[in-house]
Amino acid sequence: MRGALNPILAVDSYKASHKWQYPPGTEHVSSYVEARADNSGLDLPGTLVFGLQPLLCQLAAHPVSAKDIEQAAHLFGGHGVPFHEEGWRHILGRHGGRLPVEIKAVPEGTMVPFSNAVAQVVNTDPRAYWLTSYLETMLQRALWYPSTVATISWAVKRILREFWRLTSDAPEDCLDFKLHDFGARGASSGESAALGGLAHLVNFRGTDTVEALLAAAEHYAEPMAGFSIPAAEHSTITSWGRADEVAAYANMLAQFGGPGRLLAVVSDSYDVFHAVEHLWGRELRSQVLETGGTLVIRPDSGDPVEVVAEVLRLAAGAFGTTRNSKGFHVLHPAVRIIQGDGVNPHSIRAILARMTQDGFAVDNIAFGMGGALLQKVDRDTFSWAMKASAVRVRGQWRDVYKEPVTDSGKGSKRGRLALVGDGAGGMRTVRLEECPARADLLRPVFRDGELLVEESLAQVRERAYRGR
């Protein structure tokens, strides 16, 4: 996904001058990455770590070249900041352009409590002490965005699971298709769509973000990470004209209906309540039932809580329901609903709470989430940061930390670090010298340009499931 991007230039400008700012005799710099706090309002236990592997794959496959160095020298020369060309040529000559750093990270798919190290970076060549922090821009970006999307997606699954336990008899794996990714068009770039969409697929199997499928195959050995179904949009319905709205719906059934098949039809181009009660529920009722598949009705406007409640009521009146063992109504198998407008974790909870109040099981609905999934997140959602915590100067390690009197929340950790279990099912960050042998959950994943660990999406999914 990063393609031929020059890794020397995937950086904030001020990093180029930092080589000359460390104490004389500096040999090694050790830094860590963490999600410091939950600012999402979702009361989360931590962050679901995901997404470092694609960057490491690319760094391993594309060492720094002479052309990269020449490009950087030319750019920085006109940009107003110094460029440590000698250092990069040393990396090219001594290491073949492979980055002389060791990166340790928690296994992807792990839920790490906030304010704990999820990764640690240290240079392996004393002459490249400046490289550790130089990589901050790439490393933070590789971790904060996909991890944040994966965590928001995980939070939605937690909400769905809560209402599934309360209202449903269906097997739990039905939840895998209860949140569908509609976020590609609202993402800031194709790369964001790929990485964010892939992060969602750690928890769910439903997506319309094709770039995420490509990323899963390229970086996580998953030939088909997600699935979708034929679905209408407003243009394909309204092109028939309002007078022929029912014909547009009938065409969808004819084209895509059939035993075991699902199709989704947006039904609010004019009047969603009329469409459900009269067009689907009367004029096309027999066709819907006779296809042997499932029609998924999609409202796409109005107050999501009220609209879903009314659509459910009308669909139940038209097609009937059964009561499950928990006493909740489940629509006829030929009909379901998907809500894809105004969807976020808070509105999902509100919709499901209203459905429960009205006596309907979670089985009846799925959700499509777009911008709120892939775009309405930023580095501050979980206060991600990468900070130096130790330096080795003339053979001696010493602590590095910040402790601003104006903001205690921005204080940083000290020393070389390890992440260990706390004995109660959680985790805590400790000094490396306090960590028992083999107890560190931060495992080496990249060293001197070589990818040390490469996992499949199936492994990540299994780990995320176990940690739910």
Name the nearest CA neighbour of 162 among 43, 336, 55, 67.
43
Kindly tell me the burial class for residue 85, based on how many C-beta atoms sit within 10 Å of its own C-beta (0-12, 13-18, 19 or more).
middle
How confident is the model at residue 4, as a pLDDT? 63
Residues in the chain: 468
Would the pLDDT of 406 be above 60? Answer: yes
Separation of alpha carbons 63 and 450, rounded Å:
10
CB atoms within 10 A of CB 288: 22
Among candidates 261, 262, 240, which has minimal Cα distance to 249? Answer: 240
Taking the domains of the chain in order of start, what are their residue ranges? 7-134+388-466
Question: By three-state DSSP, how is residue 202 classified?
Answer: coil
Reply yes or no on whether the pLDDT at 67 is more than 60: yes
User: Which tokens sit at 312?
Assistant: 């459910």
Range name among 40-49, 64-73, 331-340, 407-416 with the lowest pLDDT average? 407-416
Q: Which of 76-85, 275-284, 299-308, 420-429 has the lowest mean pLDDT?
A: 420-429
Give pLDDT, residue 408.
84
Q: Report the percentage of the chain scoring pLDDT > 90.
A: 96
3-state secondary structure 273-314: HHHHHHHHHHHCHHHHHHCCCEEEEECCCCCHHHHHHHHHHH
Secondary structure letter of residue 360 according to DSSP:
B
Neighbours of 439 (CB within 10 A): 12
E strand or H helix that includes residue 272: helix 272-274
Tell me what the mean pLDDT of segment 356-378 comes to.
97
Give the model's pLDDT for residue 2: 45
- Sheet arrangement for strand 335-339: 206-207, 179-181, 365-369, 335-339, 294-298, 262-266
Q: What's the whole-model pTM score?
A: 0.96
Query: 99-120: per-residue pLDDT in tens?
Result: 999 999 999 999 999 999 999 9
Whether residue 184 contacts residue 197, with contact meaning beta carbons closer than 8 Å, is answered with yes
7-134+388-466 maps to CATH 3.20.20.450: no
What's the pLDDT score for residue 1?
Answer: 46
Residue 40 confidence (pLDDT): 96
Return the sign of the alpha-carbon dihedral for residues 165, 466, 45, 157: negative
Torsion angle in degrees (nearest 10) through CA of 3, 148, 369, 163: 140
